[in-house]
Amino acid sequence: MNAQLTPYPAHGPRKLKVATVSLAGCFGCHMSFLDIDERLLELIEHIEFDRSPLTDIKTVGHCDLGLIEGGLCNAENVQVLREFRAHCKTLVAVGACAINGGLPAQRNHLDLGRLLTDVYPQGVPNDPELPLLLNHVHPIHEVVHVDYFLPGCPPSADAFWSFLTDLMAGRTPYLGHGLIHYD
């Protein structure tokens, strides 16, 4: 079941409120989003950013659309995801890490305890400021309901553009031939 966004007229009184967040991943999806280049200027006419590395806002208010990249590798990721889901009417899992754990999930095939002792031979850091690691990296849909999936590693700028313009127009997003790739 996919949530529906209310389409907004091009010069309507209210902009679509969008938030973004990155969990366990490489931040490549955010970089690809920025690759829409000059189309950002057109997009800004229709949306307003809330929490996002693009705005440096650290807390999320109530939003129409949440774009989330990265999987879940620690307790802090889970906490951020649950808060994000609670504040976003529509949630989009962006990229391979959010959808299936991506590269961070490669550690799922290893013994975490042994991995940590191999990486930290002088002793595993034990500081309350460090988030507790999960035994496995998980995709976000295993913890919260996801309304849409935007695949790719990362999704291309054109895929972002097509996806967002479909949503803003009230259409179900469709990514035609050539818009989905895994580089």
pLDDT, tens digit, 9 for 90 and up, residues 7-59: 444 455 578 999 999 999 999 999 999 999 999 999 989 999 888 877 887 78
The fold adopted by the segment(s) 16-168 is Rossmann fold (3.40.50)
The 3-class secondary structure across 82-122, one letter per residue, is HHHHHHEEEEEEEHHHHHHCCHHHHHHHCCHHHHHHHHCCC
pLDDT, tens digit, 9 for 90 and up, residues 75-134: 999 999 999 999 999 999 999 999 999 999 999 999 999 999 999 999 999 999 999 999
Q: Tokens 């002792």 — which residue?
A: 117
The reported pTM is 0.88
Domain boundaries, the chain: 16-168
Strands 148-150 and 47-49, sheet pairing: unpaired
Share of the chain above pLDDT 70, in %: 91
Strand partners for 67? 20, 92
